[in-house]
Chain A
Amino acid sequence: DSGVTQTPKHLITATGQRVTLRCSPRSGDLSVYWYQQSLDQGLQFLIQYYNGEERAKGNILERFSAQQFPDLHSELNLSSLELGDSALYFCASSGVGIYNEQFFGPGTRLTVL
């Protein structure tokens, strides 16, 4: 158990809908990262937040957005969902040093029908 929690575990929804994924980092970690993992793309970095502020951005679609709240939990919002958005979404957290190892949560499996 990494100490990172994610909810929900599974999510099934329809095209065009909007969903919110939630992540709670390990106790004391200030950085939260979001990743997408699909069969054909591997693990892709989406976005990072550090203590409430956006720190780095990867190949995140404009339909996707994230935020980190004062209690350090984070939410990833996915809107206008398409079939191709079906994937595993992972959250990771890391400690104070910016190049520290990241610890991953169990993931949310999103299925768009």
Chain B
Amino acid sequence: EDQVTQSPEALRLQEGESSSLNCSYTVSGLRGLFWYRQDPGKGPEFLFTLYSAGEEKEKERLKATLTKKESFLHITAPKPEDSATYLCAVHNAGNMLTFGGGTRLMVKP
């Protein structure tokens, strides 16, 4: 059974304090690893797709990286508007998406 574990569960940062979120996974035939951002009561918003180990993607203050067992979402100089829950998900060969429990990020001004 596919498993996705995200850590930490919650993270408090000061504005400008860079950090990383971790997503560890076990999956039968990885077909893609996805990062989403979710604001309270809203639908997840797509951020990145990573397909193979060594791949990196960047968008504004966010950078996602992938190894064979985990992915990191690096947040550089975060701002309060980056506060949200960040979800990681893996797509397996059976075309099913399994989500992790998320990391709740709070950035204080």
Number of interface residues of B (CB under 8 A): 23
Question: How many inter-chain contacts with C-beta < 8 Å in the A-B complex?
Answer: 54
From the candidates A42, A58, A99, A107, name the one contacting B32 in the complex (CB within 8 A). A99
Say yes or no: is B99 at the interface (Cβ < 8 Å to chain A).
yes
Chain B nearest CB from A57 CB (Å) reads: 9
Q: Say if the beta carbon of A74 comes within 8 Å of chain B.
A: no
| Interface core residue of A43, A90, A104, A107 (most chain B CB under 10 Å) | A43
Q: Is B106 an interface residue (CB 8 A)?
A: no
Q: Which chain B positions have C-beta within 8 A of A103?
A: 46
Query: Do A43 and B87 touch (CB < 8 A)?
Result: yes
Q: How large is the interface on A (under 10, 10 to 19, 20 to 34, 35 or more residues)?
A: 20 to 34
| Alpha-carbon gap, A13 to B34, bound state (A) | 34
Is the beta-carbon distance between B99 and A42 smaller than 8 angstroms? yes
Are B43 and A90 in contact (CB-based, < 8 A)?
yes
CB nearest neighbor in A for B87: A43
Residue of A nearest to B47 (CB): A101
Is the pair B95, A101 in contact by a Cβ cutoff of 8 Å? no
B97 on the A face (CB < 8 A): yes
* Residue interface mask A70-113, B partner, CB < 8 A = 1: 00000000000000000010101000001101111111010000
Residues on A lying within 8 angstroms of B by beta carbon are 2, 4, 33, 42-45, 48, 55-56, 58, 88, 90, 92, 98-99, 101-107, 109
Q: Which positions in B face A, CB cutoff 8 Å?
A: 31-32, 34, 36, 41-46, 49, 87, 89, 91, 94-102
